[in-house]
Chains A and B, each alone.
Chain A
């Protein structure tokens, strides 16, 4: 189908990938990870290819990760930042993308504060587009690195119980993960204040609870989400202290968790709000593995979309 082909030229949403696509990306990422462990961390795979990182929203981790990934594969990586909306500068989004297209890039990696921007760009540019996070919509590469990390540690995905905790309404990470995790056979519990759950949460999660104890109990994987305290205090929850009391992942809570449970966090962390330092740095935490795997997953994405003519959905 034409539509399927189009989406597989790009990486926009986890809805577009099958369980076997996800498996292939993770397997490729494992090979890529070995490159990062060598003394000379570079292969000539994408030599002569141009990757534009177009970030219109602040990002340290994701942007650095994509840049390192491109460079380790020998692509020419160009970083562009632009603040705010294209419209505010009097240029339409379409015009802006036409201009980038005229420079003949081989790939466009896009981060935007507005949902839908990477998806719209696919209509206006020849090269593959990778969504590096768009508004409250999705963050597929983050999701894939989460899955890779879980797979690495648990040696499987299917049948695992995961609890996602916090501001699910505004989290593109949670969104991508809920879609993908259910595809690969994990069961997802959504846990957060009722004010920060999307209206259709019952449809996109297997279980919904406002009790953190219930969410932690029996979970194989616990994912804490960043809470944008500056935006949500007063209306999302009364204050940070209360949030942390009800939904903060601290040592006491972790006593109820499985001993071998994994704790993930997409970063950046609000220490002491959604997660305590003891847990973030404790035995359950795989937060830094996530960051390491982020480079590997992004190398795999670049490679599969650009190198060797491989289709993700083979």
Chain B
């Protein structure tokens, strides 16, 4: 049968307060038992001694580019990349072509997702064509099962449109994921405004462009009593605003991308277009603030903002290079540094990469409770490896982490009881 017994591992299941050595049994695609000792029987066995057995990792912020930009990535290749990275569920953003702003595009993505290696949840656009003007077909997409709503890549600049979207989306229990960027302030800046932008002679986007929208959105969310989620928080100012908002009970959640807590604007020196993304890499003090936010819970979760691009879109003038980097295959390794560095406990990391993101997009995953769907990731916390973009399963090779040595890797990715990737 397809039954699978994972023995001797350190089961880390923050949803149920479990962290200790247990055996975990999967039967018929569901978790059937988590116990001290389960007999082998005639089952397939994985010995996970010294390894972490975690609920399948979840990345709520990816770009799978299909439909429209299949040369960058497809749902199939994106899902394979996710599987290698240890992710069992991902949510993919709406900035495809056509934009996922109506039922037929949502249906197309869901149809492609059926044959993908991992669970792929489409995120619907907030506004038609991501134009920030008229509402997208939110109800229709909600009925088909979009996980959340976002105009990611673009900020909803008109506050009254955002307010209407929040109120309307709340009828369907959908959260809006905001890409906070006052475009009038950031002016198409291609890196952080500061010493590096000045040295390189490039237009920078200052941190205040992100901060002011975050402040605005918190006020609107507080007024509407609706949830708001902040994508890829990159500034110390935003972490502070979000922390204060949470303290007074605003329904705010936030994610951080591994690159924003691993490297700074210095990575752009030499006009390295693989260090160009939005929001941009910031400064040391921003990195410190994001790590603090993750450890004290001001920031709920880690999401990669996996943004594959073709080589020819990066081997151009810095100003003309595409924004974004791939992230699914490096996300866990980079995030493990927070554990190795003593900033997060293993349980806290798993919470930020599985349980919490599941809650934000409202899927019944991120738990190892008996009866739950058997999405499981087995992690070797001590495995040392070097990032080699030529080995990526993603079509994208655009990463600033080529050659970087990481410690910690997913060695088994299990979706609905089936091993979809192992190393």
Instruction: Indicate whether A200 sits within 8 Å of B195 (C-beta atoms), given known contacts A87-B316, A94-B315.
Output: yes
The interface residues of chain A lying within 8 Å CB-to-CB of B195 are 199-200, 203
The answer to whether A87 and B194 have CB atoms under 8 Å apart is: no
Cross-chain contact B315 with A137 (CB below 8 angstroms): no
Determine whether A28 belongs to the interface, using a CB cutoff of 8 Å to chain B: no
* Cβ-closest 10 pairs across A and B: A137-B201, A116-B271, A114-B317, A115-B201, A136-B201, A198-B198, A94-B315, A92-B312, A200-B195, A87-B316
**A107-135 CB contact bits vs B (8 Å, 1 = yes)?**
00000101111011000000000000011
Tell me if A82 is interfacial: C-beta within 8 Å of chain B: no
**Residue pair A85, B316 in contact (C-beta under 8 Å):** yes
**Residue among A86, A115, A175 with the most chain B CB within 10 A?**
A115
Decide if A204 is an interface residue (CB 8 Å cutoff).
yes
A265 within 8 A of partner (CB): no
Type the 1/0 row for A283-304, where 1 means its CB is closer than 8 Å to any CB of B.
Answer: 0000000000000000000000
**A138 in contact (CB, < 8 A):** yes
Q: Which of B194, B311, B317 contacts A85 (CB 8 A)?
A: B317
- A199: B residues at CB distance < 8 A: 193-195, 197-198, 204, 206
Alpha-carbon separation in the docked complex, A217 to B379 (Å): 68
- The answer to whether B201 touches A172, judged by C-beta atoms less than 8 angstroms apart, is yes
Taking CB atoms and an 8 Å cut-off, the chain B residues in 185-204 that contact chain A are 193-195, 197-198, 200-204
The residue in chain A whose Cβ has the minimal distance to the Cβ of B311 is A92
- For the complex, is A93 an interface residue (Cβ under 8 Å from B)? yes
The 0/1 profile, CB within 8 Å of A marked 1, for residues 294-328 of chain B is 00000000000000000110011111100000000
Q: Which residues of B line the A interface, CB within 8 A?
A: 193-195, 197-198, 200-204, 206, 270-271, 311-312, 315-320
- Contact A93 B315, beta carbon cutoff 8 Å: yes
Contact B318 A114 (CB under 8 A): yes
List which A257-273 residues lie within 8 A (CB) of chain B: none
With the chains together, A174 CA to B271 CA distance in Å? Answer: 20
Please, how many angstroms separate the alpha-carbon atoms of A245 and B194 in the complex? 30
Residues of A within 8 A of B (CB): 85-87, 92-94, 112, 114-117, 119-120, 134-138, 172, 175, 198-200, 203-204
- Closest beta carbon of chain A to B333's beta carbon, Å: 27
Which of B193, B201, B271, B320 has the most chain A CB within a 10 Å cutoff?
A: B201
Minimum CB–CB distance from A236 to chain B (whole Å) comes to 13
CB distance from A138 to the nearest CB of B (A): 7
* A136 lies within 8 A of B194 (CB): no
Q: Which of A93, A138, A175, A200 makes the CB contact (< 8 A) with B317? A: A93
With A116-B271, A203-B195 in contact, do A135 and B316 touch (Cβ < 8 Å)?
no
B312 touches A115 (CB 8 A): no
Least CB separation from B198: chain A residue: A198
Say yes or no: B201 contacts A117, CB within 8 Å: no
Distance (whole angstroms) from the CB of A210 to the closest CB of chain B: 18
Q: B320 contacts A87, CB within 8 Å? A: yes
Contact B317 A92 (CB under 8 A): no
Residues of A within 8 A of B203 (CB): 136
Give the complex CA separation of A198 and B320 in angstroms. 22
> Quick check: A138 and B201 within 8 Å, CB to CB?
yes
Q: Given the interface contacts A134-B201, A136-B201, A200-B195, does A119 sit within 8 Å of B317 by beta carbon?
A: no
Q: With contacts A92-B312, A119-B270, A119-B271 known, is A114 near B198, CB below 8 A?
A: no
